[in-house]
Amino acid sequence: MTPLLFLGIALAGGLGSTCRLYLDGVIRSRTSGGMPLGTITINLTGSFLLGLITGFTANQLLPDTSQMILGAGFLGGYTTFSTASFETIRLMQERRWIAGGINGLGVLAATALLAGLGLWLGSIP
């Protein structure tokens, strides 16, 4: 890895984190209730985009360096496994079993499906 590529990944990660913070704030300000809709939206869109970028790279529509900067950098900063885990545990501690199950297992399944859809769409010649 070159120093320039490292810098690009780091800057993209910072930008992804900033976008996550902004989007989560916008969603929280427009919704009510106990479901963490901001985190759910961020992880769903991030998984789809990572699949799409991976498909484009596999199809040689994007260079490997772009996948590293956009996938590992931007989307690595944008998506958040730790916050999703924390929010699932919080819902369970509040004895909101259905909401916790949807947030934990439902979002896990949905992100995997969306990543697969993105990969499939990105791989279409």
Residues with Cβ within 8 Å of residue 45, at least 6 apart in sequence: none
- Distance (Å, whole) CA 3 – CA 11: 12
- Distance (Å, whole) CA 95 – CA 50: 33
79 appears as a binding residue in the annotation: yes
- Distance (Å, whole) CA 69 – CA 72: 6
Write out the DSSP string of 73-106: IIIHHH--HHHHHHHHHHHHHTT-HHHHHIIIII
Binding region for Na(+): 76, 79
Binding region: 76, 79
